[in-house]
């Protein structure tokens, strides 16, 4: 499908996503140190839950922007059906949204 994505036209979205991913990366590095330091399993599970929350929010933000920009654009050009199918195919793989 379209390869001119939502990120090009929306520097605020791009910055927000980069920030969310960096935060998730920082959390994961912390979780790895917790595992290396043999910390308590339940505390590690809670940290994994926090990263899952960040990734769900990032996925939702991105899918929303994609629909607002790329899918809307495709619809306006009469190529909406393929764009919508592709979006829902991707959403299907998300473990949590």
Contacts to its own copies by CB under 8 A? 1-3, 5-8, 14, 17-18, 21-22, 24-25, 28-29, 31-32, 35-36, 38-42, 44-46, 48-49, 51-53, 55-56, 58-60, 62-68, 70-72, 75-76, 80-81, 84-88, 90-97
Instruction: Report in angstroms how near the CB of residue 83 gets to its own copies at its nearest.
Output: 9
Instruction: Report in angstroms how near the CB of residue 27 gets to its own copies at its nearest.
Output: 10
Neighbours of 17 (CB within 10 A): 19
List Cα–Cα distances, 86 to 14, 31, 34, in angstroms: 21, 34, 38
Instruction: Report in angstroms how near the CB of residue 62 gets to its own copies at its nearest.
Output: 6
- Exposure string over 24-62, b if 16+ CB within 10 A, otherwise e: beebeeebeebeeeeeeeeebeebeeebeebbeebbeeb
Instruction: Report in angstroms how near the CB of residue 87 gets to its own copies at its nearest.
Output: 7
């Amino acid at each position: 499908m379209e390869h001119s994505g939502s990120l090009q036209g929306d520097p605020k979205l791009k910055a927000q996503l980069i920030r969310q991913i960096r935060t998730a990366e920082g959390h994961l590095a912390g979780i790895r140190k917790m595992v290396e330091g043999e910390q308590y399993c339940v505390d590690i599970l809670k940290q994994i839950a926090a990263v899952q929350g960040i990734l769900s929010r990032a996925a939702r933000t991105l899918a929303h922007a994609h629909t607002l920009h790329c899918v809307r654009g495709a619809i306006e050009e009469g190529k909406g059906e393929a764009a919508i199918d592709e979006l829902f195919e991707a959403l299907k793989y998300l473990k949590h949204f």
